[in-house]
A and B are shown apart, each in its own frame.
Chain A
Amino acid sequence: MRTVTLAGVDVELDDDGFFARPEQWTEAMAPEIAATQGIDHLTEDHWRVVKFMRSQYLESGAGPTVRVLGKISGVPIKELYQLFPKGPAKLAAKIAGIPKPRGCI
């Protein structure tokens, strides 16, 4: 666990860089987190996925895996990987301030 400052606010991250307390997240923090993950500019398409991840988490208590994300967000898998080359579910969860999605498929 460690504390970092994002958008001027101190937040707690777990050892893998995911939010330990998702309620601390605000939209203003997203671009800063994205920049640390090699995404310099969050496009509308990025936001669509990030917001979807967050809404799924708030609804069900867990972020979806890539397969589920591809199936229910309407964004095809190919496109998800173009937006988030280092793992769509993992990166979008990090940027959306939610825990890392668990699941094998």
Chain B
Amino acid sequence: MPDTVERETVDSDDVDRASIGPPSIEKVSIIVSKGSLEGVYPALIMANGARAEGMEANLFFTFFGLDAIHKARHDHIKVATVGNPGLHLATMLGGVPGVSAVMTHYLTHKMGKLDIPSIPEFIEMIADTGCGLYACQASVDLFGLEKNDFIPQVHDIITVGEFYEMAAGGQIIFT
């Protein structure tokens, strides 16, 4: 906080106008490439937070990240219990059938207590904030999917070139 208190009157400009600092971020394009619970949530939180701050935001789903917008799969996103040292679970145990389901149940239960929405609810909410949802053309082709496989909030299936056009002038976040 500055030592001196400056005085000014509000005129046609922003109330924020006098704040001195780096320029704010106006637009973010967030890429979701992972299909695990811990791979999807951070991107959703960042997209939702960007809109809450008044930034323009777009979510671009690629590779296994497509599961997050896949009608039949987005309600069954699991925590990765293998190759995830952060879980502090023996690797061999992580591979036992059912362990991923149990861990997912445990985590989503904890999230529910904190009022963190489920992935389907969260994505619907993010679409309502005006954030754009896009699927990656190359991945859609690779997995043999079509527009109909995705939730209706998905605006379009776009190419990488179209993604860059859309992301121009903003920040790109890869998750």
Contacts and interface: CB of A to CB of B under 8 A. Distances in A.
A67 B117 contact: yes
Contacts of B16: 16-17
Chain A: interface residue count, which band? 20 to 34
Contacts, number: 84
A89 B6 contact: no
B86 to A, nearest CB: 19
Interface residues of B, number: 29
B7 A87 contact: no
A65 B54 contact: no
A32 B12 CA distance: 10
A58 interface: no
B18 A2 contact: yes
A26 interface: no
Given A3-B7, A65-B52, A89-B52, A36 B128 contact: no
B141 interface: no
A90 interface: yes
A66 interface: yes
B5 A15 contact: no
B138 interface: no
Given A4-B9, A15-B19, A16-B19, A66 B1 contact: no
Given A12-B5, A33-B15, A89-B52, 14 more contacts: A1-B1, A2-B5, A3-B7, A6-B10, A13-B15, A17-B14, A36-B14, A65-B52, A81-B51, A85-B130, A86-B54, A91-B54, A104-B49, A105-B115
Interface of B: 1-2, 5-10, 13-16, 18-19, 21, 45, 48-49, 51-54, 115-117, 125, 128-130
28 contacts: A2-B7, A2-B8, A3-B6, A3-B8, A4-B9, A4-B10, A15-B21, A17-B14, A17-B15, A17-B16, A36-B13, A36-B14, A36-B15, A37-B15, A66-B48, A66-B129, A67-B115, A76-B128, A78-B129, A87-B52, A88-B52, A91-B54, A104-B45, A104-B49, A105-B45, A105-B49, A105-B115, A105-B116
Closest 3 CB pairs of A and B: A86-B54, A87-B54, A17-B15
Interface of A: 1-6, 12-13, 15-17, 32-33, 36-37, 65-68, 70, 76-78, 81, 85-91, 94, 104-105
